[in-house]
Chain A
Amino acid sequence: MSEARSEQRGLRVRGLRVSTSAGVPVVDGVDLSVPGGTVLGLVGESGSGKTTVGTALLGGTRRGLEIVGGSVLLEGTDLVTLSETELRSWRGSRVTYVPQDPTTALDPAMRVGNQVREVLDCHDYGSGPHDRARRVSEAFEEVGLPTDDAFTRRYPHQLSGGQQQRVCIAVAFATWPALVVLDEPTTGLDVTTQALVLDTVRRLTRQHGCAALYISHDLAVVSAISDEVAVLYAGSVVEQAATDELVRRPRHPYTSRLVAAVPDLSGDRELKGIPGGAPSPSTRPSGCRFAPRCELVVPECTTELPELRLVADGHHARCIRSADVTPAHVRERRRIDEIDSAPLLSIHGLTARYGRTPVLHGLSLDVPRGTCVALLGESGSGKTTLARTIAGLHTDAEGELHFGGNRLPFGAHQRDRETRASIAYIFQNPYSSLNPRRTVGDSIGRPLRVLRGVRGAELERRVGDMLERVYLSAAYAQRYPDQLSGGERQRVAVARALISEPTLLVCDEITSALDVSVQANLVGLIEEFRQDLGLTLLFVTHDIALVRNVAQQVAVLQEGAIVEDASTEQLFHHPSHDYTKELLKTTPRLVS
């Protein structure tokens, strides 16, 4: 707690390497230093090795991996050299971990107070039972939870997601650790809860003087909490600098592109994805790992892996052309579309329910032709139910839907063929929206076969064309979904939705399962289709920053009712409802 204590504390990682048992390096030479009392954000997309680094700091690896080199220095001890028994006494006391999903991390059959107490008992904390009991209530107080028996005697399922995560944080900080590793601890939480959790972590890190490593895929979240940020790409750190410096003046091309791909609440620049995909551990190129996707690539880049070197005060980058990297924050004002067209879809007094539980309460909304209307809401707000009702997948509803001036029946079966072809739906999870037993071509062609009766060579040709339009080659038609990456699958889902030439496209959280760079590509693709084909979009999302970058109009949904419906400009500059104001206030921004 004292200043002196925080001076000695801190983490130094040198040349950390983790390989598969077959010798394929997954994490390849990671250097990190985290002074006591500060938070280092570790950002990386899926497959970059960030979770592997996180677990390696606790001296462990997933099955099939092993730490093959480097050192993890904490309080003068190298954790890599410790035996399993010594590690066990370190873990949970000196080095602690906050997992992504508190619902599976907490024991459902144990009272939450006892879960904090357990870790103290396990490591013989303090001078006795009384000391430990006091520390338990202190730990609850530190994370802003009630300390009375009524609360600590609850079971995890009696707590909200945010409270559960704060219990996990209380467990992690209970033993005054030297290092806390947090692996995406706010991914499952709503933004308002996320802000609370981030605040708690930052405050406790300062208060305890410990080092914290905050792992996330979300640069905006990381920049909100971290003092410094390290960017991980294909198993090695490509850049590390103070948060503000890194975001404003990136010195590695990947960082710069990553910043450009993050939807930002502060500005309405255009989202830019990164072409190509990150290499998997065994296909990493020699030389700079980012070279194949880099705009600044020169022949020297591909011959040797550049060193992580000091490029400015406290700023390290692994790039030989770091001086030429341009900041991503070139503001490009987007074309503001005038909204004055007649509504293509209008919803009037819609009430939907599951059995006896009402989910939507007399909701009304107009979707103007040719625009993108965002439907913004947290989990449980009823946004997916609304999207499904429009798509004819939820029929337990009352009220009126009008599509192109005609009354729209609720069930897809009751709609005529033309209407079914005109309303397309893209699902949230590309891993469950494609039938694993059908080839990609078969899945894409199905709406054409079913709705337009197209068959044979004509069908094949149009599937091939559609694949090209979503930037996949026609050869993908023969593949099966499990041979595709998440981003590729979602593009196949887009192709399937658009092949019947719909006029209304309902997108249900279509990017939430994807990395930001992939998300930016997909959003760009959808926007391209909107402009080329005059598509009308209903874009369902929980991400207010993304809304600013894709939509012309926003409807904010809370507990089954629309609390605010305005043009994007108006909503961001003059929010009227308290809930919208709260969202705007608590959503992390890339640049403060």
Chain B
Amino acid sequence: MSVAEPGPIGNAIERVSGGQAAPGLLRRSLAVGRTRAGLMITVLVVAVAVVGPFVAPASETGFVGVPYTPDAAGTVFGTDYLGRDVWSRFLYGGVSVLALSGLCTVIGVGVGLLVALLAGYSRTWVDELLMRTTDVLLAFPAIVLALLFLAVFEPQPATVVATVAAGHAPRVARVMRAAVLDVAGRDYVRAAESMGLRRWPIRLGDLLPNVTGPLMVETGLRLTYSVALVAGLGFLGLSGLEADQADWGLMINENRLGFTVQPWAVLLPVIAIGLLTVGTNLVADGIARAAAGTDREVGG
């Protein structure tokens, strides 16, 4: 009969009487184990990419030894196919992947969300037009779309961001439109309508704040895909970077022929990209679980 351990009912009461805090999805996500694990992995990889260039022992482009030497003197992980320091190139090569995939995510999710808010709360032909257009875009796999764009336009970082973001936008729009449509049917939206509020104030004041859950999940997921796509395009040499600039995707491609002799030049970027993908995916999954209310026992 002890009341010390709060059961489900005890928790509910605590929330009613005690808190002024808004029911924060982020805070609840953090209580889910996988979000914390994912966040730790992501922060680790991001830290390597951001701090890396400042602590790299050698320069990004300088030659330090004979090519493909795993135990070259003065190096940690040996030299690459041109004789540059693998460890330094690895430390320099993360920023481009992170920055590009971050930008792709922000732009892709932003455009998708805009389309979703427009389509999900118009109740006119605008909805049809926008959604049928996204359907057409969805017919192309993201990578094919990216290759098509990059074949037509000069591969530069801006083009890479634009093509990857363009691949994300219709997918985000689909998911978010469903979320917007659900919220648009609630009575508080009708209450706002009866005050004579126009559509955009309602979109921003009532719809957007109530779809942040799926939005966060979608953002996390798109970040994961961005990392994979940007690294993939880097591997294909399509990231549009300077020829000798370090990039995790490019590193894998450059050194793959010498994998048996000098595995580190390939393994380091592969591990980093893999960890980043798993990390962001875990975070996205954790947020999704918190939003859906699974794992409430773990969370509470």
Contact = CB atoms under 8 A, between A and B. Distances in A.
Contacts of B192: 446
Nearest to A506: B194
The 6 A-B residue pairs with the shortest CB-CB distance, nearest first, are A22-B7, A437-B209, A433-B187, A20-B7, A427-B187, A435-B188
Contact of B196 (A432, A437, A451, A478): A451
A22 B188 contact: no
A327 interface: no
Contact of A23 (B3, B8, B198, B210): B3
Given A280-B13, A393-B190, A420-B194, 12 more contacts: A21-B7, A22-B10, A24-B9, A280-B12, A393-B194, A412-B195, A413-B198, A420-B196, A425-B190, A435-B210, A450-B195, A480-B23
A19 B5 CA distance: 13
Contact of A392 (B6, B188, B194): B194
Given A432-B186, A436-B210, A24 B7 contact: yes
Interface in A418-462: 420, 423-425, 427-429, 432-438, 443, 446-447, 450-451
B2 interface: yes
Interface of B: 1-3, 5-10, 12-13, 15-16, 19-20, 22-23, 186-188, 190-198, 206, 209-210, 212
A437 B22 CA distance: 8
Given A282-B3, A413-B196, A433 B10 contact: no
Contacts of B191: 425, 427, 433, 496
A285 interface: no
Contact of A482 (B8, B23, B194): B23
Nearest to B297: A64
Contacts of A25: 1
Contacts, number: 104
B13 A437 contact: no
**Residue from B5, B15, B188 having most chain A Cβ neighbours under 10 A:** B188
A268 B210 CA distance: 44
Contact of A435 (B10, B16, B19, B206): B206
A282 B10 contact: yes
A434 B188 contact: yes
Contacts of B198: 413
A410 to B, nearest CB: 12
A283 interface: yes
Interface of A: 19-26, 64, 280-283, 388, 391-393, 412-413, 415, 417, 420, 423-425, 427-429, 432-438, 443, 446-447, 450-451, 478-480, 482-484, 496
B10 A24 contact: yes
A499 to B, nearest CB: 11
Interface SS, B side = helix
A408 to B, nearest CB: 13
A480 B22 contact: yes
Contacts of B212: 437
B3 A24 contact: yes
B9 A20 contact: yes
13 contacts: A22-B2, A24-B9, A24-B10, A413-B196, A424-B194, A425-B194, A427-B190, A429-B187, A433-B190, A437-B210, A446-B192, A450-B195, A478-B20
Contacts of A479: 20
Contacts of B210: 435-437
Nearest to B10: A282
A451 B212 CA distance: 28
A407 to B, nearest CB: 17
A510 to B, nearest CB: 11
A65 to B, nearest CB: 9
B181 to A, nearest CB: 15
B5 A22 contact: yes
Contacts of A436: 23, 210
A562 to B, nearest CB: 23
Contacts of A424: 194
A447 B196 CA distance: 10
A293 to B, nearest CB: 18
A283 B13 contact: yes
A420 B195 contact: yes
